[in-house]
Amino acid sequence: MRNFLHWFKDSSKMKRWIMLILVGVVFTSYGMGSLIVSNESISLIQAIKIVIYFVIGFTCVVLGLIFINKRTMELFVEATDDRIDTGKKVNVNKLIFNKKIYNQGPKIVVIGGGSGLNTTLEGLKKHTSNITAVVTISDYGENFKQNNEVMFYRQLEDIKNGMASLAISDESKMQELLNYKFTSGDLKGLAFSDVYFAAMNDISLNTAEAIKNTNDIFKICGNVLPVTKDKMKICAELDNGYLVEEKSKIAETVYDKITKINRVY
């Protein structure tokens, strides 16, 4: 009985919605009673009044139930989440990112790269935080003027896009930051992500460790891991024995030499 009375405390903010439900029940009961006691033939005005009573009553009951459920969720979060200060209003729309609620979600591993992977990650993070994305690292064969070390960080394009897709906040903001290119000075032409991963790689044991540390720094919803710790390229061996070592040149070379691809590795 004592636990039941807790719902009527001022701090619970439940009484207003319980009262709204009672008002809805009264209106609905009055409309039903009017219909029962009325004669077989009722006037149009009486019928309209009865319908209005039913509509008002039904609306009050539905709204009351909705807001009671909403407030119950808020009370649960206030009682279990240490990150919420006492008296601070809880935004139920952000409950999807509450680790204490979603850390028991299904464990999912996603393997791949490209825009399809990013779209998949954006959808999955709405249902669970136990996501591990194993992302490809490959040389896309673009002709940058920077040295080989910078060229390697260009290969982390799918890594940074995967992290942006798993961002707890607005992924477009993180995408904008990671893709920002400097327009002047020694860093001209470089993206922020290139400079960031170069610095993280220097202070970490290797690129895989740098990516793991970045997962913690950015506080993403899950983990992004590279498919390998080694540098890699996408190469194609043609039927005539010719070897193409840049992905972007495979189609052009096959067309020029009028030959078939024997294998891709």
Q: What per-residue confidence (pLDDT) applies to 147?
A: 44
d(CA 140, CA 151): 10
Contact assessment for residue 140 and residue 113, using Cβ atoms and an 8 Å cutoff: no
d(CA 222, CA 226): 14
Q: What per-residue confidence (pLDDT) applies to 126?
A: 77
3-state secondary structure (DSSP) of residue 234 = coil
Written as six digits, the tokens of 155 are: 């290969």
Largest CA distance in the chain: 97
Contact assessment for residue 231 and residue 152, using Cβ atoms and an 8 Å cutoff: yes
SS3 of 154-167: the string is: HCCHHHHHHHHHCC
**In the chain, where the domains are located:** 2-97, 103-226, 234-265
For the chain, residues with pLDDT lower than 70 are: 1-12, 39-40, 77-104, 138-155, 248, 257
Q: Which residues pair with 112 in a beta bridge?
A: 135
pTM: 0.53
- Burial (CB count <10 Å: 0-12, 13-18, 19+), residue 234: middle
Q: Could you report the per-residue pLDDT of 102-156, keeping only the tens digit for each?
A: 666 788 898 887 778 888 888 888 778 788 888 887 655 444 444 445 545 556 7
DSSP state of 189: T
d(CA 96, CA 106): 14
Q: What per-residue confidence (pLDDT) applies to 96?
A: 47
